[in-house]
Structure 1
């Protein structure tokens, strides 16, 4: 009886496992603007990508210009990087339809949202707590003056950094965020010192 029950359980599990293996997750389409789309890629041509949106979207295929797609991450784990078609004799335009000001603004917005390195804050906070407000000011003065390296940008769509205006906007905002976090760390450290000194004075007077 025990063996019959075991066989029945195995018989119920095997079809479910086979169905799960036959139904992989959706593909991920990463656009140049950083937007991710979940769905199933159906047709990919040099100029157009057609995909079936993930549920609960309507079961109709939609189309995207390949020029707007950075990469496709397939459900099986493989990736395919797509490049916009190159105009004859000129470089590819990774942000078609946007003027210089819009590209600059997009770079700044992306940096504000995605450059999240808090190392400068903690570094200057630690230096200020260790060296005090006087000597601790050396750390933020040095750290805030160094530009953020491109490898630390954490850009949502690295291909967009090929555009000079977008890159300039991203760099400017990343540097601004770094300076703000650097001096915020120093300010927090000074605040801690003020509280400690006030507490010591209060205990001495009492």
Structure 2
């Protein structure tokens, strides 16, 4: 009798253990395909490529050869986690690389910069201002949209296009679009003032030219239309 009771108790214990094990959720198994789909992280450290024209390009530099700089562009904010393509930039267009660890790689020699800055040595403020104007006349080119935008808006909208033309004419040129022969020269206040004012004047001239030609085109079209309508009315009278 005692033996039968022990066997019954053992059977009930084993049955309870099997039920508890059956109720436990299965262990999560990592999907290898899903893990492989996530690109490797670029890390929080960011290098900065400084170009000759003064533009700064945040990136992760992979390597530098005598001809090109290979880098990974930083993903845009909110973009899906897709591994970026490796890009490259000609070394001739690179001034310096500021690495995330604090070191810097200079691609243009101090001798080259000395020769560029030497053009200002010994010049008065007025002479540096005049040199800035001369270089601006030679190197600065307003964007094509300055002329064509004012031309199209005036030709299509008439007087309303004058508002667009005025806004473009009085807007300041972008600092990165000045295109000085040596960006380091723009650090001199007098040179920069002369270069900037001449660039702004040239941009305004392009805008005024676009407005003038747009208005002339509009007047020509209106004259042709009026002449055609008058000719038709005259013929209908006879």
Asked if these proteins are the same fold (TM beyond 0.5), I'd say: yes
Show the counterpart of 2:217: 192
After TM superposition, give the deviation of residue 179 of structure 1 in Å.
Answer: 0.7
Show the counterpart of 2:185: 160
Show the counterpart of 1:18: none
Higher RCO structure, 1 or 2 (CA under 8 Å, sep 6+): 1
Residue 152 of structure 2: which of 126, 146, 150 is its match? Answer: 126
Q: Report runs of 4+ in structure 1 exceeding 3 Å deviation.
A: none
- 1:144-171 CA-to-partner distances (Å, cap 9, x unmatched) read 2211121110111111101110000001
After TM superposition, give the deviation of residue 81 of structure 1 in Å.
Answer: 3.8
Residue 114 of structure 2: which of 74, 80, 84 is its match? Answer: 84
TM-score normalised by L of structure 2: 0.48
The answer on 1:143 being equivalent to 2:171 is no
After TM superposition, give the deviation of residue 130 of structure 1 in Å.
Answer: 2.4
CA–CA distance in 2 between the matches of 1:141 and 1:190? Answer: 14
CA–CA distance in 2 between the matches of 1:96 and 1:169? Answer: 16
1:14-163 map, 5 Å: 79-82=107-110, 83-84=113-114, 95-117=120-142, 118-132=144-158, 134-163=159-188
- The structure that has the greater radius of gyration is 2
TM-score normalised by L of structure 1: 0.55
Number of residue equivalences: 124
Please provide the CA RMSD for this pair. Answer: 2.4
Unaligned residue ranges in structure 2 (runs of 5+): 1-91, 93-105, 232-238
Q: Secondary structure at the match of 1:113?
A: helix
CA–CA distance in 2 between the matches of 1:126 and 1:200? Answer: 19
Unaligned residue ranges in structure 1 (runs of 5+): 1-72, 86-91
After TM superposition, give the deviation of residue 94 of structure 1 in Å.
Answer: 6.5
1:6-21 map, 5 Å: none
The answer on 1:169 being equivalent to 2:194 is yes
**Is the contact made by 1:94 and 1:159 (CA closer than 8 Å) also made in structure 2?**
no
TM-aligned CA distance change 1:94 to 1:106, over 3 Å: closer
